[in-house]
Amino acid sequence: MASIRDLKKDINFVLGDIIEAVYIWEADSGNTNSADGNAIIEEAITVFDGLMDKVNQKVEGSKKAHFKTVRKELEEKATVLIEKLNKLAA
């Protein structure tokens, strides 16, 4: 199923970009290996693992609704992580 593959790629790219942004912020600000940056990275990894588990679980009923819920959760959690990163950069 192409949609499942695309959803997995989206999860990987979005969360990977957030982690990369943390590394860029650390390099620009001189706060390499900061506790705040590491916390965001750890949270992004936890979100990644949780979403991938949900994508790979066996679905009873409507698969379309299930994947739509996973995609919405990705958007919500990515927004929270970006807000945390923006607070660090401010």
Instruction: Look up the domain containing 84 and give its range.
Output: 2-89
**pLDDT above 80 (res 2):** no
Instruction: Note the pTM of the prediction, 2 decimals.
Output: 0.89
* d(C-alpha 86, C-alpha 77), whole Å: 14
- Mean of pLDDT over the chain: 92
* Residue 73 and residue 51 in contact, taking contact as beta carbons nearer than 8 Å: yes
Tell me how crowded residue 76 is: count the other CB atoms within 10 A of its CB: 11
Residue 82, pLDDT > 90, answer: yes
- How does pLDDT run across 35-78, given as a tens digit for each residue? 999 999 999 999 999 999 999 999 888 888 999 999 999 999 99
Question: Which pLDDT score, from 0 to 100, does residue 68 have?
Answer: 93
How many structural domains are present in the chain?
Answer: 1
The residue count for the chain:
90
